[in-house]
């Protein structure tokens, strides 16, 4: 059996994002697989800022150093790239794509969001032509859910576009169902703390909840967007609301097991299918989120509640309802645990492996 040699080019943790975590799992899942050899070029920029798509001097020098690793393409069969979705996010991978095609390598891109097609539509002139020409060089494309396929249909034939759903890390999945104590709301926001993720809307909702004398405890975890750090610290200095920083390992597992409600009212333009929603489902949390990007492909009314973005009052309304019916919402929790069972690390890696080796 011929061993396929794969080169992964994309961000790895830290910092943790949905994209970097997925790449971590790919490397972990394929490292001991005898049918492939996996190597990588880590393109993660060191500092977490919400300046996606903006070209800075630091980023230019950072990627120029990455181009010194172009030699890794030689001797590989498959080049697997997880690019960004902006013009810069795609074009910075162009040298890898063009060299790979010059050497007749198979190039596969994996898009972790729902902005790529919109970015193309917003471009004009030479930038639009470069963007199209670069992505048209790719052999196969992967998206996270069915409704995200349109991001690639302009650049690739339909039968070269694959859907591979996200996953829940194995260690975060409870070994058996545990009935959660439901004496009051235990709320988590588990994502990067960015304005477009709805973090300020959640905090405003919690302040309203507090004024209504409804008992709750809310914990926030993730990287904080740089320009929100000062604002958010004013919210976190209360007894009911706390910030845990970035959580991983046992701390993350305990947080998911502790909570009974997960909130992510995202309208983030780069959003795909947040891994944190799947993690919360696997631990029996009731979900409050938005009908945004690929989220409706995995979440319905059987899993929790939808709210409109930028409307904290709707979040308050749902939380009051949940608080009044905590003991009667066990079916939603059970639905979430059962629905999450198909989103495993193994299924994620095996699906990719099938695309790589087909």
CA end-to-end span of the chain? 14
Q: Each residue of 198-233: pLDDT tens digit?
A: 999 999 999 999 999 999 999 999 999 888 998 888
Domains 4-167+343-357 and 170-342 share a fold: yes
Strands 140-143 and 106-110: parallel
* pTM: predicted TM-score of the whole model, two decimal places: 0.93
CATH 3.40.140.10 for the 4-167+343-357 domain, yes or no: no
Tell me how far apart the alpha carbons of residues 232 and 230 are, in angstroms, rounded to a whole number. Answer: 6
Q: Are 258 and 186 in contact (CB under 8 A)?
A: yes
Distance CA 175, CA 197 (A): 30
Report which of 125, 123, 112 is spatially closest to residue 271, judged by C-alpha positions.
Answer: 112
Across 333-355, average pLDDT: 97
DSSP string, 201-263: HHHHHHHHHHHTT--EEEEEESPBPGGGHHHHHHHHSSSSEEE--S--HHHHHHHHHH-SEEE
Nearest to 119 by CA among 110, 130, 108: 130
Distance CA 313, CA 247 (A): 28
Quick: pLDDT tens for 88-122. 999 999 999 999 999 999 999 999 999 999 999 99
Secondary-structure class of domain 170-342 per CATH: alpha beta
Q: Which residues does 58 contact at the CB level (< 8 Å), separation at least 6?
A: none
Give the CA dihedral 276, 277, 279, 282, nearest 10 degrees: 180
For 50-63, what is the mean pLDDT?
70
* 253-279 pLDDT, tens digit each: 999 999 999 999 999 999 999 999 999
Q: In the chain, where are the structural domains located?
A: 4-167+343-357, 170-342
């Amino acid at each position: 059996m011929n061993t396929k040699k794969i080169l992964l080019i994309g961000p790895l943790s830290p910092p943790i994002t949905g994209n970097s975590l997925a790449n971590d799992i790919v490397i972990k899942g394929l490292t001991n697989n005898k049918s492939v050899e996996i190597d990588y070029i880590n393109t993660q920029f060191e500092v977490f800022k919400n300046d996606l798509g903006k070209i800075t001097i630091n980023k230019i020098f950072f990627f120029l150093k990455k181009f010194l690793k172009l030699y890794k393409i030689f001797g590989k069969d498959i080049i697997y790239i997880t690019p960004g979705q902006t013009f810069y996010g795609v074009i910075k991978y162009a040298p890898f794509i063009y060299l790979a095609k010059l050497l007749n390598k198979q190039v596969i891109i994996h898009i972790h969001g729902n902005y790529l097609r919109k970015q193309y539509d917003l471009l004009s002139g030479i930038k639009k032509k470069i963007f199209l020409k670069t992505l048209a060089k790719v052999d196969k494309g992967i998206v996270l859910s069915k409704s995200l396929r349109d991001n690639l249909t302009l650049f690739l034939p339909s039968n070269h576009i694959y859907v591979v759903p996200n996953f829940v890390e194995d260690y975060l999945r409870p070994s058996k169902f545990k009935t959660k104590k439901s004496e009051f709301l235990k709320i988590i926001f588990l994502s990067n703390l960015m304005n477009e993720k709805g973090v300020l809307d959640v905090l405003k909702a919690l302040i309203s909840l507090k004024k209504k004398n409804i008992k709750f405890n809310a914990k926030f975890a993730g990287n904080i967007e740089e320009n929100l750090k000062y604002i958010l610290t004013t919210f976190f200095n209360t007894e009911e609301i706390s910030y845990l920083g970035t959580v991983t390992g046992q701390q993350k597992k305990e947080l998911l097991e502790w909570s009974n409600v997960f909130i992510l009212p995202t309208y983030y333009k780069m959003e795909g299918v947040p891994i944190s929603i799947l993690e919360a489902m696997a631990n029996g949390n009731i979900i409050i989120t938005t009908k945004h990007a690929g989220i409706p492909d995995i979440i319905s009314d059987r899993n929790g509640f939808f709210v409109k973005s930028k409307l904290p009052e709707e979040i308050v309304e749902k939380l009051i309802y949940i608080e009044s019916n905590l003991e009667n919402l066990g079916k939603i929790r059970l639905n979430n645990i059962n629905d999450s069972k198909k989103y495993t690390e193994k299924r994620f890696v095996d699906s990719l492996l099938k695309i790589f080796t087909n």
